[in-house]
A and B are shown apart, each in its own frame.
Chain A
């Protein structure tokens, strides 16, 4: 899937479209559209301004932020705002200038900034980013917040209580690793249908020293439900940011998303619910009693999910819909509750 989307990127700019990824680089792109390397020395701010203008002319989205993030990354900071002011007026070394040109040329091809600098922040973690693994969005930081708040409120979760969590579709590992980082008594299982995602989650876990409490498996919940069940049961939290876009919306995505990110992590079928339904069917079997499901979804989904679960999944109860920072219905929380009749038997 991702090979196809990348090759779309090549043809678009008339560059050679065959060959492995590493050949597709700076020289080819520069010859297409990048401004020439400056003859003399330029300051950091001049370089940022020059690329900002160039991005804007070429219709690259967020031209200012793109050039600022790339420059900040090269100068060892995270944002332009957190850079020391003096550094901006200093001249860039020839090496840094060349790197700036190389990275900005990648951005010119609409590659997302996160892939260009190969890292991004998620809550208090800095994670490695690698195409085509899905880049975590800010809304998902709020999903983690919801889970953590509930864990804190839950009675009997003092130090020493072992909690287990399952994440479906871990991508770069953002959700699981954030939870593990913030909750030292937690153990997590993470599964993804993409080998690239599994590898990247593993790499990020290792970088953050969280590998001991995380088990990562290359599994597809749509096909390998049995295997998932054999690996973990009685988890207290099932969390997922599943692919939830409606297939018909896919074509309208920005090139950054459409051409570079794994479609399998975005496309949720005709109603965007394909993977969500599989997760909810699996939920009562993997969750412990009163265990909870936390899902990030499309704003149109919550009422659909509530109705579907009531009809199709026993023991799962829809708890509530939560909104994201911009006020959209974005998160669904469900709880497993064994029927009283069964308890009485």
Chain B
């Protein structure tokens, strides 16, 4: 425990970059997955294509993807952009299906009612379908958040610093409490993300009773 109190600043700095490396892809991924999920719903032929493509992308091991990224992007090996893009790919892969299924969960009679009230096209999507799909999308986002936080720690093996550094460094220098500190910090961070998404979901869906926090 003394290790933790001695290195508080370092942990904080690493945690901050961990937040960036896992949080930014979460937002980017959501922004990309929304139109893709919508398209998958709109044209049923695209659905299987998008779902299987995202399944394949998610299959690629994270460490391998971090290392391949520079070839694709033309970046330096030590560029944090590699990690952000790789994590965005994973997030999109997870969320496309969730968004499509979430939009699909909006009952037909609601859509018809919206149409009868004059809602069409983009306005119906933003005003009716998306809000009703929030619970499903938020659930997917929570899964993605937890998995992002865990996967990002692997990036310390390719020299991108974040909380995973505590684990690699602790292992290299045989400092047990450093590894544990990294582990705990990651879990705490995952819980924070989880809580924030849950909070956002409550705020976005005030008509739903507050329940089912921990599924």
| A and B co-occur in one complex | no
A contacts, CB < 8 Å to B: none
